[in-house]
Structure 1
Amino acid sequence: MLEVILIRHGETDANRSLRFQGHADIPLNATGLLQSDRLARAFRNNGILERVAASYSSDLQRAVQTAQTSLQQTPHAAPVLQSALREQSFGVLEGLTFDEARASYPNDVESWMQFNADYALPSGESTRQFHDRVLGALNDIALAHRNTPENSCVLVFSHGGVVDMAWRHLTGQPLSGPRTCEIPNVGLNHMRWDGRRFHLQDWADARHVADLPEQPRYDQRKLRGRN
């Protein structure tokens, strides 16, 4: 079966300050670039590079930088950029911290915190719209490489929300409700494609950056309890 490895981008300053990023085009910070270097080492040490049939990336620069940095010492072509692999659009909240968003858009934030799959922030997209976009892109990628040699893999560089949508799909979790899985920066998330559907193989492997500064944690389950 074809292996698809889904990778969240490296750290940005917006990650560090827990700001809504969405479609905002924010570059990696120094830690994110170091994480991407470690990702390149993990690719080499784990025997991934020689199995890569193709690579894809969100067209937002934090994902593109992660892909380019981690693949710069390989003979593979540059990753194919796809806007369908972007993070969920958070509309008017992009660029704001949670507290800033709640102060400026209290009613919208209260509605968003219900985590209803069909609710979309002003100028944003709902979780259901986002899920359909992401799964459509991942399925198209897998189908495009269904005839690749046995033991090949495809790398997909993207965002935390994209990883969450894949996790929910693989584990049968509902689209409504807060995020439940850990999504570390530059974590490796392994899926297998059997020609019809994806299967979970391994998830959130971030051992290659375990000795770097602790990553900021974004836990949607704790937001409801904040005053």
Structure 2
Amino acid sequence: MTTSTSTPPSAATDFILIRHGETDWNRELRFQGHIDIPLNDTGHEQARRLGLRLAGEPVDLFFCSDLLRAQQTAAPAAQQLALPVVTQAALREQHFGVVEGLRAEDIRELHPRAWEQWLEFREDHAMPEGESPLQFHARILGALGALATAHAGRRLLVVTHGGVLDMVWRTARGLGLNGPRQSDIPNAGINRIRIADPSDPAQIEILDWADTRHLADLPAQPNYDQRRHLKST
């Protein structure tokens, strides 16, 4: 896809969406959710390179999930752009309830029924005390819609989470919320979208997706999808 850096139409809002850098729990296939996990060394290097890549980018406002891994990813870019970062809890990852902090194999052992249901990829299924994809999707579209309404015609930089970007991709492609993730969502990748009408945040145009040129010579990122990891074992 071609990257767009032109000024958005007056009623539209352009977003540069970033998934946070890598954490140790990503590598360990643990469900992070709302638990505050810091970046690991690779994640900090990804964040540093992201900051250099975004230097000089035309950005009006900078928003971020309030979780530490997102804030640490945002910090180098905020310094390069000389912008304050506004944190919002609404931009957090999906909440996974009682299984947060557990590895996929731990969930399969401790919560076997919940794990079997998780493998069905149903939009209405939530881990115990967690959010379903339907609930999560509503939260994320509400958050993006509020930003688009408040800042129509401007370009916003947002550091958030992989699940958030999955909700954006599914919405833009009209895929629905059932079924496995189909998009590439690398840590510290750059994704550009446009919401043309702030009153209808579900109408998302993808301008560019999963740009990782700034990370080209770093170690390859693993497959973080816990369900694929254990589906056949």
Provide TM-score, normalisation by structure 2: 0.89
Partner SS state of residue 56, structure 1:
strand
Query: Per-residue deviation at 1:192?
Result: 1.3
Question: Which of 30, 33, 46 matches 1:35?
Answer: 46
8 A contact 1:54–1:155 mirrored in 2 = yes
RMSD value over aligned CA atoms? 1.4
Check if 1:20 corresponds to 2:22: no
Partner SS state of residue 14, structure 1:
helix
Partner SS state of residue 6, structure 1:
strand
Structure 2, unaligned runs of 5 or more: 1-7
Partner SS state of residue 60, structure 2:
strand
Check if 1:80 corresponds to 2:86: yes
8 A contact 1:16–1:216 mirrored in 2 = yes
- Quote the residue 2:174 is aligned against: 172
Correspondence list, 1:114-125, <5 A = 114-125=120-131
Partner SS state of residue 3, structure 1:
strand
Structure 1, unaligned runs of 5 or more: none
Counterpart CA distance in 1 for 2:226 and 2:205 is 25
8 A contact 1:33–1:69 mirrored in 2 = no
8 A contact 1:179–1:221 mirrored in 2 = no
Runs of 4 or more consecutive aligned structure 1 residues displaced over 4 Å after TM superposition:
none
Counterpart CA distance in 2 for 1:202 and 1:220 is 26
Provide TM-score, normalisation by structure 1: 0.91
Check if 1:110 corresponds to 2:116: yes
- Quote the residue 1:64 is aligned against: 71
One-letter amino acid of the structure 1 residue matched with residue 129 of structure 2: S
Check if 1:8 corresponds to 2:42: no
Partner SS state of residue 122, structure 1:
coil
Q: Tell me the number of residue pairs that the alignment of Structure 1 and Structure 2 aligns.
A: 218
Check if 1:214 corresponds to 2:214: no
Partner SS state of residue 216, structure 1:
coil
One-letter amino acid of the structure 2 residue matched with residue 17 of structure 1: E
Counterpart CA distance in 1 for 2:123 and 2:197 is 28
Partner SS state of residue 139, structure 2:
helix
One-letter amino acid of the structure 1 residue matched with residue 31 of structure 2: F
